[in-house]
Amino acid sequence: MKYTGAQLVVRLLEQQGITTVAGIPGGAALPLYDALAERGSIRHVLARHEQGAGFIAQGMARASGKAAVCIASSGPGATNLVTAIADAKLDSIPLVCITGQVPLSMIGTDAFQEVDTYGISIPVTKHNYLVRNVADLLQVIPEAFRLAESGRPGPVWIDIPKDVQMASIEIDALPEPGRPDTAPCVDMDELRRAAELINAAKTPVLYLGGGIVTAGASAQAVMLAEQAGLPTTMTLMALGTMQSDHPLSLGMLGMHGARFTNYILEESDLLIVLGARFDDRAIGKAEQFCPKAAIVHVDIDAAELGKIKRPHVGIHGDVSQVLDRLLPLIQVQLRKQWLSRVSDLRSRHPLLMPGLENPRSHYGLIDAVASALDPLQADDAIITTDVGQHQMWVAQAYPFSRPRQWLTSGGLGTMGFGMPAALGAAIAEPDRTVICFSGDGSFMMNIQELATMADENANVKIILMNNQSLGMVHQQQDMFYKRRLFAVDYQRRSDFVKIAQGFGIEACDLDTAENPRAMLADALNRRGPCLIHCSIDIEAKVLPIVPPGASNTEMIGG
Amino acid sequence: MNMRDSNINRKLNPEQSGKAVLELTVRNHPGVMSHVCGLFARRAFNVEGILCMPVGDGAQSRIWLLVREDERLPQMMSQAGKLEDVLSVARHGADHRVFEKLEEFFG
């Protein structure tokens, strides 16, 4: 068979099971777009900004667990993708990003829309390629998918010069699609040592990270907690891996964790850390985190073992396989003494959620959204957020019940993530309702994707918590910079209801609703995109808060 | 034990401070040097000397790095080992002669 490079890319994407891509065309990507048009097998979601395309692909990948694809042209198309790709790197999300590049002969001449995409993408990807020969595509495309989904997942970037897209090649058969590598063998000696520590511990805590979601190991993690009587905390990335109303759940730890959660961790004599990386927002000051605890650390990335905290037992492996082998070695324990101390701390230092009964306040709105969902669909709903105060309030207060229900930008903390990621999730999982909690600051960073959402008629509900300010910065200036508020409050009030309607999206305003709960229920349970606007108090804070650089027990408020 | 603890232990043991030589076997293609040097730069780990030459039929290269031996070195080796184009990472003592032999060119 004879193919052009562009045709070959399309065939190889098909082989990987790709049915939808997000992107924006441009000069250097035109042969690839022409091949997509000619073949007609892959649906293309036309974003309005490449960063939006990157986050749409991320939404697809985060909701499905499979590598998703975004496409852009050279130069600004490529640079606009960088933030979304870096975000995927920090949160270990499998993406394959394909960009057009100026023809090989023009590389290095400062040609129109030329930028060193290969060089720019190195620090934000798991791996990257500049394809110099059409035949290389046969190996590069399957390998990109293999790498994106193997071990600790991540984004892989493929830069393809225009002449490579146009060159032709004769081949007998297409190569096999790329598949994830098998996981490394688990060291049984280390596993036995881990089991001994868990069985002997008096005040152990289970600490789950995003790796549990990636590995599909939440059922086994919950089983471990129940079998060994382990109070269980989750990182931001792991919310949903244990149901939030599970009696052993301590919710999120760290900077905005509940007081009781951080106090319980402080008393632990053993931390069992699964698929987490001791992020500074989770553990505060590293030297003072869980001072009395021995550490069992399981991770698929060997470089994470000992990076921040040196484990007493470090196990390199797939956490799902590790748990399968570990569970038979774990004694059943009721741990009455420790669990009664845990419930004592929980009742003395609970998470305070002021205004919970008022659907027009921050916690109240989150609670009202969860309650307004049709009970049959509530667990099915996908929740995305942007970044800031609203993100932390949702992380603290939303009743998560399953992995992959919660999609948020954790490591990079990218404002503008929420709405395009929600759109991607709705495309990947069309039967679910997708709810995007956003703030006015974040929302305006990718507001143009409302147009894409209208095109797709996606079942996304945007809950816009509007305090006419960059709320999290406002809070930190207020608390840590003597309330010298600067460059945080927006001077003019934007009319988001009108803006949404201008893009062809239905919108409603809780501020003027006679019955806000009824308005919410109606908007959430009707199919199609909708923006729900609600003003919230700029003085509302995310509490408790661990001041930057402090240890987790030095919380303020809450 | 956390990194700060191990740092203290290291300072008490001057025998182990000093330099080390890393030997990386890599795929030989344009860009692999960027990957390796960029990794050390963005993790703020100083590289004092670099040597790179193709080996065998040119499909692979060997990169020699002269680095300061500190408590972050094992972490840097793990991170370097994760690079897709890096096939192996080995550590030698500062007494390795590869940089010593070059000294006459840097007089």
pLDDT at A364 over 50: yes
C-alpha distance from A308 to closest chain B C-alpha (Å): 6
The single-letter code of the amino acid at A365 is: L
Q: Searching chain A, which residue's CA lies closest to the CA of residue B42?
A: A123
pLDDT at B95: 83
CB spacing of A308 vs B78 below 8 angstroms: no
Q: Who among A119, A147, A286 is closest to B2 (CB)?
A: A286
Token digits of residue A322: 């590790």
pLDDT at B7: 42
Q: Searching chain A, which residue's CA lies closest to the CA of residue B35?
A: A122
Fold of A362-535: Rossmann fold (3.40.50)
pLDDT at B12: 41
What CA–CA distance (Å, rounded) separates A24 from B14? 57
pLDDT at A376: 74
Q: Which residue of the set A126, A162, A309, A461 is catalytic?
A: A162
**Mean pLDDT over each residue of chain A, to the nearest integer:** 97
Residue A554 is classified by DSSP as -
> Minimal CA–CA distance to A463: which of A370, A542, A327?
A370
A interface with B, Cβ–Cβ < 8 A, is 118-119, 122-123, 126-127, 130, 147, 286-287, 289, 301-303, 306-310
> In this structure, what are the phi and psi dihedrals at residue A276, rounded to the nearest 5 degrees?
-130, 165
Domains and CATH numbers, chain B: 17-106 (3.30.70.260)
| CB proximity under 8 Å: B 40-59 to A | 42
pLDDT at A378 over 80: no
The count of C-alpha atoms lying within 13 angstroms of the C-alpha of A455, restricted to the half-sphere facing its C-beta, is 16
DSSP output for A495-524: -HHHHHHHTT-EEEEGGG-SSHHHHHHHHH
CB spacing of B82 vs A130 below 8 angstroms: no
Q: Which residues of A touch B35 (CB under 8 A)?
A: 122
What CATH number does the domain located at A2-170 have? 3.40.50.970
What CA–CA distance (Å, rounded) separates A248 from A339? 9
What CA–CA distance (Å, rounded) separates A125 from A120? 10
The single-letter code of the amino acid at A205 is: V
Chain centroid to Cα B54, Å, comes to 17
Kindly report, residue by residue over A410-447, the tens digit of the pLDDT: 999 999 999 999 999 999 999 999 999 999 999 999 99
pLDDT at B94: 82
CB spacing of B79 vs A309 below 8 angstroms: no
Residue A21 near residue A57 (C-beta atoms within 8 A): yes
Q: Which residue of the set A112, A188, A202, A307 is catalytic?
A: A112
Token pair 């954790």 is found at: A410
pLDDT at B5 over 90: no
Give the DSSP H or E segment for B50. strand B47-55
The single-letter code of the amino acid at A155 is: P
Give the DSSP H or E segment for B64. strand B60-69
The count of C-alpha atoms lying within 13 angstroms of the C-alpha of A488, restricted to the half-sphere facing its C-beta, is 18
Q: Which residue of the set A242, A255, A472, A555 is catalytic?
A: A472
pLDDT at B14: 41
Cα pseudo-dihedral A450, A443, A239, A291, rounded to 10: 160
The count of C-alpha atoms lying within 13 angstroms of the C-alpha of A84, restricted to the half-sphere facing its C-beta, is 39
CB spacing of A310 vs B31 below 8 angstroms: no
The single-letter code of the amino acid at A340 is: S
Q: Which residues of A touch B78 (CB under 8 A)?
A: 302-303, 307
pLDDT at B16 over 60: no
C-alpha distance from A497 to closest chain B C-alpha (Å): 43
Best probe of the A interface among B1, B2, B7, B78, by most A CBs < 10 A, is B2
> In this structure, what are the phi and psi dihedrals at residue A36, rounded to the nearest 5 degrees?
-65, -40
> Minimal CA–CA distance to A409: which of A442, A434, A433, A377?
A442
- Give, rounded to a whole angstrom, the gap between the first and last alpha carbons of chain A: 66
Residue A319 near residue A403 (C-beta atoms within 8 A): no
C-alpha distance from A532 to closest chain B C-alpha (Å): 42
Asked if B3 has any chain A CB less than 8 Å from its own CB, the reply is yes
Residue B15 is classified by DSSP as G
> In this structure, what are the phi and psi dihedrals at residue A142, rounded to the nearest 5 degrees?
-60, -40
Chain centroid to Cα A260, Å, comes to 25
pLDDT at B17: 54
C-alpha distance from A303 to closest chain B C-alpha (Å): 5
Q: Who among A119, A286, A309 is closest to B34 (CB)?
A: A119
Q: Who among A289, A302, A310 is closest to B6 (CB)?
A: A310
Q: Searching chain B, which residue's CA lies closest to the CA of residue A313?
A: B1
Residue B4: pLDDT band (50, 70, 90) is very low
pLDDT at B15: 41
Best probe of the B interface among A127, A159, A299, A300, by most B CBs < 10 A, is A127
Catalytic, A285? Answer no
Write the secondary structure of A314-353 as one string of H (helix), E (strand) and C (coil): EEECCHHHHHHHHHHHCCCCCCHHHHHHHHHHHHHCCCCC
Q: Who among B1, B34, B79 is closest to A303 (CB)?
A: B79
Q: Is A301 helix (H, G, I), strand (E, B) or coil?
A: coil
- Give, rounded to a whole angstrom, the gap between the first and last alpha carbons of chain B: 44
CB spacing of A286 vs B75 below 8 angstroms: no
Catalytic, A472? Answer yes
pLDDT at A375: 79
Q: Who among B4, B35, B84 is closest to A147 (CB)?
A: B84
Tell me if A2-170 shares its fold with A362-535.
yes
Asked if B35 has any chain A CB less than 8 Å from its own CB, the reply is yes
Residue A264 near residue B40 (C-beta atoms within 8 A): no
DSSP output for A454-496: HHHT--EEEEEEE-SB-HHHHHHHHHHSTT---S-B-SS---H
Residue A124, C-beta contacts closer than 8 angstroms, at least 6 positions apart? A82, A85, A86, A89, A155
C-alpha distance from B56 to closest chain A C-alpha (Å): 22
- CA quadruple A487, A488, A489, A493: dihedral sign: positive
What CA–CA distance (Å, rounded) separates A221 from A237? 15
Residue A89, by phi and psi: left (phi above 0), alpha (psi -120 to 50) or beta? alpha
Token digits of residue A96: 């394959």
Residue B8: pLDDT band (50, 70, 90) is very low
Q: Kindly provide the b/e burial profile for residues A403-435, where b requires at least 16 CB atoms within 10 angstroms of the residue's own CB.
A: bbbbbbbbbbbbbbbbbbbbbbbbbbbeebbbb
Kindly report, residue by residue over A266-302, the tens digit of the pLDDT: 999 999 999 999 999 999 999 999 999 999 999 999 9
Catalytic, A162? Answer yes
CB spacing of B38 vs A122 below 8 angstroms: yes
Q: Searching chain B, which residue's CA lies closest to the CA of residue A278?
A: B2
Residue A95, by phi and psi: left (phi above 0), alpha (psi -120 to 50) or beta? beta
pLDDT at B103: 83
Q: Who among A147, A287, A307 is closest to B4 (CB)?
A: A287
Q: Which residue of the set A14, A66, A113, A226 is catalytic?
A: A113
Q: Which of A54-63, A121-130, A153-162, B67-76 is least confident?
A: B67-76
> Minimal CA–CA distance to A392: which of A285, A279, A239, A218?
A239
Kindly report, residue by residue over A164-220, the tens digit of the pLDDT: 999 999 999 999 999 999 999 999 999 999 999 999 999 999 999 999 999 999 999
CB spacing of B34 vs A122 below 8 angstroms: yes
Kindly report, residue by residue over B52-102, the tens digit of the pLDDT: 999 999 999 999 999 999 899 999 999 999 999 999 999 998 888 898 888
Give me the residue spans of the domains in chain A. Answer: 2-170, 188-348, 362-535
What is the mean pLDDT of the segment spanning A495-521? Answer: 98
DSSP output for A68-97: EEEEE-STHHHHHHHHHHHHHHHTT--EEE
pLDDT at A358: 97
C-alpha distance from A291 to closest chain B C-alpha (Å): 9
Residue A68, by phi and psi: left (phi above 0), alpha (psi -120 to 50) or beta? beta
C-alpha distance from A73 to closest chain B C-alpha (Å): 21
Give the DSSP H or E segment for A158. strand A155-161
What CA–CA distance (Å, rounded) separates A169 from A164? 10
C-alpha distance from B100 to closest chain A C-alpha (Å): 31
Token digits of residue A450: 């409302």
Q: Which residues of A touch B27 (CB under 8 A)?
A: none
What CA–CA distance (Å, rounded) separates A101 from A161? 4
Token digits of residue B84: 């897709």
Q: Which residues of B touch A119 (CB under 8 A)?
A: 34
Residue A539 is classified by DSSP as T
Give the DSSP H or E segment for A369. helix A362-372
pLDDT at A339: 98
Token digits of residue A210: 């995003």
Q: Hey, which bits of A17-150 come out as E strands?
A: 20-23, 43-46, 68-72, 95-101, 127-130
Q: Who among A118, A127, A308 is closest to B84 (CB)?
A: A127
- What's domain A188-348's architecture? 3-Layer(aba) Sandwich (3.40)
Burial class (CB in 10 A: 0-12, 13-18, 19+), B53: exposed
What CA–CA distance (Å, rounded) separates A236 from A244? 13
CB pairs under 8 A between A and B: 44
Q: Who among A119, A287, A303 is closest to B78 (CB)?
A: A303
